[in-house]
Structure 1
Amino acid sequence: MPTPEIVTLDVWTVAPQDVPRALWRMATDRRALARLPGARFAKLLGTGDGRTFTVRDADPLRWAVLLAWDRSADADRFEGSRPERAWDAIARERVQFRLSPRSSRGRWSGREPFGTPAPGDEAGPVASITRARLRPTKAASFWRAVPPVSRELQTVEGLRCALGIGEAPLGYQGTFSLWESTEALREFAHRRAVHRDVMARTPREGWYAEELFARFGVVEVRGTLDGRTP
């Protein structure tokens, strides 16, 4: 698949009384997103704090839409679309991350949504998306391995925000993280012992039936998350 020019991740926070409306949007927006002009890949996502990657992490007040676009102009036209208006109508807060793919390996639902980006400028803030479909027989082992990594993540200098993301309460899990620099991301991914250990165990344990790791340059962050712009 060709590399999209821009990828957007929108995260909406809703009030407790609007959770049923958010669940309705999750159930009904799939086709509307797929029909958006220029949208080559679309996912409706729940979110959580990513500490255990079990249902205990889930945040029913926060929901996300990930879209990979042919062109930046297509992403601009998302504003004012029916799905965007519907989410904005029930949200009390919204943040949008506009991302430029820098590297991607693996598959998501059998596809390579971010193509095969050419190496680019390493300067400036970066974002990372990981996504995996767990093998049911390996899930318990994976869940035992995650908490030390999650605790370590919160101590890394240069992390601007991190969210757990998923398509289902169990088995389809991922992360989104935003970093001050490529160096800060590498410090966590390759130099922290607990993360290196999990990376080394992954092929031995066979946790994943499908996995994807992608890195992006941060083009722009619009809006707020927990009252501030990440």
Structure 2
Amino acid sequence: MKDSPTSQISTVTLLRFEGLNAFWIFGQMQKAKPKLKKVSGLEFSKLMGSGGKNGFSKMLNVNVYVLHCVWESELAANDFFVSSATFSEFRTRAAEAYTIFMKASKAHGLWEGTNPYHTEKITPSGPIAVITRARIKLKFLPRFWSHVPSLGKKVDQALGAIFSIGIGEYPWFMQATFSLWESYDAMRNYAYGSPHHMEVVKKTRELGWYSEELFANFIPYRAEGSWKDLDLKLDEK
């Protein structure tokens, strides 16, 4: 997919840390915020932790983190990943890192009071990425977490699923997911064809579990780095 170097893009970077570096990255959850705010061309960013069992668990995975960024342009993103001292330290300390470059094709809802994505009319013809994010009302935490572990397992087993992980800014009540699918149809078939997923969506609407939520689709067009069992096949012409 051809891309304009001056239009908004988003990136998701998967990061795995081992040993003492796992303690270091945990501290960066707060320490990196002011550094990222100073990055030129970075419009929105979140460094998030993950849960165990592919992220869909109340137990924390102290080794895997995700840096999600929204950039004013691909040029700004390239400059950060090549020249930024902040990302250089992330990359040096990480045992594994994988960055996916994407264009938003659909987005509705809010993330901390704003929708950070500028969407473009792109007809998906290959893999698609999905980000969901929700702030869960405290009184509904037990009900929410009674459904999430089995829901995560179902995503992994869904036809056309490439990869999925549960992530979040804060444990248990600010939750997000990032998933990759072979096609738009595969994603829709799971979203609207899985009885368990539809049950969770129905309960969400009926009971009002969330005080804020967002759903966004992306077209991934470039990937760099390596991640175990993830090799996203993209047309980067």
Query: Is the counterpart of residue 17 in structure 1 residue 20 in structure 2?
Result: yes
Question: How far did residue 184 of structure 1 move?
Answer: 0.8
Partner of 2:56: 51
TM-score calculated relative to the size of structure 1: 0.92
Question: Which 5+ residue runs of structure 2 have no aligned equivalent?
Answer: 1-6, 233-237
Aligned counterpart for 2:179 among listed residues 149, 152, 177: 177
Partner of 2:105: 102
Q: Map 1:1-230; keep pairs closer than 5 Å.
A: 5-48=8-51, 49-52=54-57, 54=58, 56=59, 58-79=60-81, 80-115=83-118, 117-226=119-228, 228-230=230-232
Asked whether the 8 Å contact 2:163–2:230 carries over to 1, the reply is no
- Measured in 2, the distance between the counterparts of 1:216 and 1:192 equals 21
Query: How many residues are treated as equivalent by the alignment?
Result: 223
Matched residue type, 1:81? S
Matched residue of 2:56: which SS? coil
Question: How far did residue 155 of structure 1 move?
Answer: 1.2
Q: State the identity %.
A: 28
Question: Which 5+ residue runs of structure 1 have no aligned equivalent?
Answer: none
Question: How far did residue 63 of structure 1 move?
Answer: 1.3
**Superposition RMSD on alpha carbons, in Å?**
1.4
- Measured in 1, the distance between the counterparts of 2:173 and 2:203 equals 18
Asked whether the 8 Å contact 1:223–1:229 carries over to 2, the reply is no
Question: How far did residue 16 of structure 1 move?
Answer: 2.2
Moved more, 148-157 or 132-141: 148-157
- Measured in 2, the distance between the counterparts of 1:170 and 1:191 equals 27
